[in-house]
Amino acid sequence: MFGNNNNKDSKPSGSTAPSSSGGGGVNTIDAKTAITGDLKAGGDIRIDGSLNGNLNCEAKLIIGPQGHIEGDVVCVNATIEGSFKGNLIVKEMLTLQATAKVNGDVKAKKMAVLGGCEMSGTCTVPFNGNVAASQPKPANNPLKQKQGASN
């Protein structure tokens, strides 16, 4: 029952659809899931729930129609159907579907915008892909400045 499976015609279990990045499967955050914190995805990721934090995705990001991200995102490709608030850097292709609501600064190498989407903020296309120069610099910590001043 749980031992060796000698059936040579069977396919390996647990296989997933291939990622557009060439490795791994698609990570999915379902509609009933809310995450607070930063994420790093080595493959594709689909957000149908909510993420309140930063995301670094080494492949494709999909924000589903009910999905929501509030934070900074760096990814290779992106398709947005839901809502996004923050800074978005897309190294290749960004697609904003008709249901997309984007609020923030967007930088992409290429971009497709479907009629009906809402966008508020700045947009830089084509973007040269220099992510390090584009990422926001950390704010000065006022607590450290006060501690230094009191000595």
Q: 83 to each of 17, 25, 130, how far by Cα in Å?
A: 26, 24, 25
Burial (CB < 10 A; 0-12, 13-18, 19+), residue 47, is buried
Lowest mean pLDDT among 43-47, 70-74, 90-94, 126-130: 126-130
Residue spans per domain, the chain: 27-134
pLDDT tens for 24-44 read 678 999 999 999 999 999 999
Give the predicted TM-score (pTM) of the model. Answer: 0.72
The pLDDT value given to residue 51: 97
Most confident of the following: 1-15, 17-31, 81-95, 114-128:
81-95
Residues recorded for the chain: 151
Residue 135 binned pLDDT confidence (cut-offs 50, 70, 90): low
**pLDDT, the chain, mean:** 81
